[in-house]
A and B are shown apart, each in its own frame.
Chain A
Amino acid sequence: MSGPDTIQPPLARARKAIVRAIVASAQPIAEPLVAIFLALVVGAVGITVFSGLLAGHSNFDIGLPAAAYLALLGGVASPNGITSTLNYSTPLILAGLGVGLGFKAGLFNIGGRGQFLFGTVGAMAVATTVGASQSSYITVPLALLAGAAFGAAAGFIPGFLKATSGAHEVVTTIMLNYVFVFVTYWAISGPLSLPNAHQPITADVTARNAALPIIFGDVQHPAYAGILLALAAVPIIWVLLYRTTLGFEIRSAGANPDAARYGGMKTNRLIVLTMSIAGLMSGLAGATTLMGVVQQIAPGYDTTVGFDAITVALLGRSNPVGILFSGLLLGAMRAGSQTMQVQAGVPAELVDALQAIILVFLVVNALRRWLDRRAAKRGSTPSVDAGAAQAAEGVA
């Protein structure tokens, strides 16, 4: 603040301040974009090298990454791709909001997979029991509610364990993921199984009046109403975090639990509550997926949404609006990856690999480090207080 920096004409200072302000406000958006770009570059190298080495191609095809990315983009930018993107994004946004809320409370919910699956089971249970006898106006909300409730229950367990015994949620949620995988297997081979089927499988939600309405697109390429739910959840979570006293409590407990306790907040209750809400969101993600694209639970049913949601939350800096965009982005990548696999012969799993690479570049702040180094070279101090702002944002 003081020192030689201050001795310069006021005009220059003002200009500098404006530039800084622009950089500071652009940074939260620019950083993820830079990370994504760098990850795509690394991914391109990976595609060339590994397809050459492993997939039996005789030589390294430099054009392959371009073909793959174009196929991916083409997959997204088609009418089919757009509905598919919305459908893929729905659970990512919902579960991502839950993980982001957890981050704000200082909780790391890796249990999305289990909560998603248990939510699926909850929704299916409603479809199985009441679906046949009721109209969809009753069954659909009820199934969504059940999915949310089951997910919340699955999130409650690790929250309760942490609050009462201090067992770290990272370990307990991962263990519970496997438990719920087996619960799901059990449910489809037992209570929820379709009678007279050749394999353990549940009924079709459409047959049980529990399918989500289609908001646009044809029957082959529908966009389900789940996306509306996800879009509605964004402002709800935002208001919860920043405009309510409960949100203040959650953020306080995450940033400094001791100070929160002194401020009269019941931190243990907040842990249980936040984990339950996070579970609720993941459960809702499971229910919308079942009642939309999936339709029935088949053997071996599983999801990557739990882990994708972590990427979504980190990429969106735990901010609901950021999560909306990162959820759409990742959904688009998932939607396009199928086209990529078919047209370019690059496995769709590339998207999983890309996620991790994006995150590496994101967390090491490639952009800011570069800006700072440039600033250091010019002899001025690293100006933008993005570091502090980010600390406040509290990635975890």
Chain B
Amino acid sequence: MTEDAAGATAPALEMRGITKRYPGVVANDHIDLDVCRGEIHALLGENGAGKTTLMNVLYGLARPDEGRILLDGRQIQIAGPSDAIARGISMVHQHFMLIPVLSVAENVILGAETMSNAVFVDRHEASKRIASLAARFGFDLDPDAKVGSLSVGQQQRVEILKALYRDARILVLDEPTAVLTPNETEEIFALLRRLAADGRSIVFISHKLYEVLAVADRITVIRRGRVIGERKPGETTEEELAELMVGREVELTVDRGESHIGEPVLRVEGLRVADDRHHEVVPGATFEIRAGEILGVAGVAGNGQDELVQALIGLRRCIGGKVTLMGRDVTGLSPRRLNEAGVGYVPGDRHRFGLILAFPVYDNLILTSYYRPPFAHGPIRNDSAILESAAAQIERFDIRTPSARVLTSTLSGGNQQKVVVAREFDREVKLLILDQPTRGLDVGSIEFIHRQIIAKRDAGTAVLLVSAELDEVMEMSDRIVVMYRGRMVAERDGRTADKSEVGLLMATGGQEGAATQKEAWA
């Protein structure tokens, strides 16, 4: 390790033998990590490998059971975020730690306020300092803008600005690209290189192989809480890293087989949907899906996908347009009517729409069918039928639970999602609407759910797959449409589409987007 850093000074940061145990798991098992000045060090690992725990230890959000942290060769104690910040360690969290209703300046200075006296904040001085920092690193940010009105990419810059405002020497970025378009990703990489050139040390956490190879000076791979290996980008390949990360040779793509595409199932024409604040965020979506086809909707989060999906499952009113299912007009039907018409839905935010965590598993399995025979005789529940059906589904969908009576909140995320999948897949569905169905799941569960989706497709179901995760859309779809500002701006064949082109379309809306917009204005 040390010879890699030869020529440079001692590591800016060293973590030695960090161990952190939680009841039943060892999240970090004697992890060593060091970062030099001016270095971008990638921490690569799967979800749940212990990356975030390690960084929480560094940032004082979790106290390690064993191990030491050294800064410039001197051992330090970090009891909380304020300790970390005081020592020049800053963190850009995966879920931004920004307050939407506050301004950029307020967000940046929070906790390190520039004061005009003991009580009041000096807002002019703060704005001046922010503006000069922004200029120095080439940010274009208005200090008085409300953070909630900024794009995701801009918000990330605010996060980085927060770190720079505190003059962070060590900057940790936790999955910074998860929400960015490929373009924005390129920009953030350029920025990271500039920061490194400025003498700062960067820890870059990711599970995306190509990103790590593109930006890092050094890569440490961890798996199940242990350091598995360390590589330099020039001396390794995606395949090797993937094997280190997952522990076995993995197929990087799903075997999706042949599609047999049939008659149109869903036809959406000029659908218009508004958000909660009555802004028309879907100003006219038009597309169709055929039986046995997976239509992927690619788009950066917040381009109207949520509202579109909610309208299609009946949770949000349509203000215009027409939705036809199997030739029947289903525009504006309630969730129940759509469900009965053969629409299934798997949300990524399963804790909100998909499940009632405080209920036992069997109650969640009948959430949409509790009122129908055999689960109800008139107004009375039929618990024996409910339990019987639950037992069968638990078996068929490999839901790991001690029994159907166990509270759903006690299951792992992957098994919770399998409960949703069992409920929505295990019946005659004509159309499946999948909204980031594998978000935050472990690899095993992702594989399982992807296989179920393919099986449904092969059985002739039309599938709408909405995901901000471009990889998932690329791997699964027969056809891909790009959603930009509520419109379908482009369509590509799923097997031949070029990922970087789709990424560009997601970011800009592309030529076709401009054309449709012009059309709309004419």
Q: Point out residues on A near B: beta carbons under 8 Å.
A: 1-3, 242-248, 251-252, 255-256, 258-264, 381, 385, 388-389, 391-392, 394
Contacts and interface: CB of A to CB of B under 8 A. Distances in A.
A242 B383 CA distance: 10
Contacts of A256: 352, 355-358
B410 interface: yes
B345 interface: yes
The 5 closest A-B pairs by CB, nearest first: A264-B336, A263-B367, A256-B356, A392-B358, A255-B358
Contacts of B383: 243
B381 A263 contact: no
Interface stretch (B88-96, B262-270, B368-376, B459-467): B368-376
Interface of B: 23-25, 313, 315, 334-336, 339, 345, 352-360, 363, 367-368, 370-371, 376, 379-381, 383, 407, 409-410
A262 B379 contact: no
Contacts of B356: 252, 255-256, 259-260
Contacts of B358: 255-256, 391-392, 394
A381 B23 contact: yes
A259 B355 contact: yes
Contacts of B371: 245, 264
B24 A1 contact: yes
Nearest to A3: B24
**Chain A contact residues, majority secondary structure:** helix
11 contacts: A242-B381, A243-B383, A245-B370, A255-B359, A259-B356, A262-B313, A262-B353, A263-B336, A264-B368, A381-B23, A388-B407
Contact of B409 (A258, A259, A388): A388
Contacts of B380: 243-245
Nearest to B376: A245
Nearest to A247: B381
A263 B370 contact: yes
Contact of B353 (A3, A247, A251, A258): A258
Contacts of B345: 262
B381 A244 contact: yes
Nearest to B355: A259
Nearest to A382: B23
B367 A259 contact: yes
B367 A243 contact: no
A17 to B, nearest CB: 12
B306 to A, nearest CB: 12
A47 B411 CA distance: 49
A248 B353 contact: no
A260 B358 CA distance: 13
A317 B151 CA distance: 46
Residue of B25, B355, B358, B359 contacting most chain A CB atoms (<10 Å): B358
A385 B407 CA distance: 10
Given A244-B381, A255-B358, A256-B358, 18 more contacts: A243-B381, A244-B379, A245-B379, A245-B380, A246-B379, A247-B381, A255-B357, A258-B352, A259-B352, A260-B356, A261-B335, A263-B336, A263-B368, A264-B334, A264-B335, A381-B23, A385-B407, A389-B407
Nearest to A262: B353
B353 A259 contact: yes
B24 A264 contact: no
B487 to A, nearest CB: 26
Given A255-B359, A259-B354, A262-B368, A248 B23 contact: no
Contacts of B410: 385, 388
A46 B380 CA distance: 50
Contacts of A262: 313, 315, 335, 345, 353-354, 367-368
A244 B379 CA distance: 5
Contacts of A252: 356, 359, 367
A263 to B, nearest CB: 4
A392 B408 CA distance: 10
Contacts of A248: 363, 370, 381
A255 B358 CA distance: 7
Residue of A244, A245, A247, A251 contacting most chain B CB atoms (<10 Å): A245
Contacts of B376: 245
Given A245-B371, A259-B355, A392 B313 contact: no
B407 A392 contact: yes
B390 to A, nearest CB: 14
Nearest to B375: A245
Contacts of A258: 352-353
A232 to B, nearest CB: 19
Nearest to B368: A263
Nearest to A381: B23
Contact of A3 (B23, B336, B339): B23
Contacts of B381: 242-245, 247-248
Nearest to A240: B379
Contacts of A263: 335-336, 367-368, 370
Contacts of A245: 370-371, 376, 379-381
B494 to A, nearest CB: 28
A261 B315 contact: yes
Contacts of A381: 23-24
A246 B379 CA distance: 7
Contacts of A247: 381
A394 B356 CA distance: 12
Contacts of A388: 407, 409-410
A326 B352 CA distance: 34
A1 B410 CA distance: 12
B194 to A, nearest CB: 43
Contacts of B313: 262
A255 B367 CA distance: 12
Contacts of A385: 407, 410
Nearest to A259: B356
B372 to A, nearest CB: 9
Nearest to A389: B407
A10 B284 CA distance: 64
A385 B345 CA distance: 31
Contacts of A251: 359
A308 B313 CA distance: 43
Residue of A248, A259, A388 contacting most chain B CB atoms (<10 Å): A259
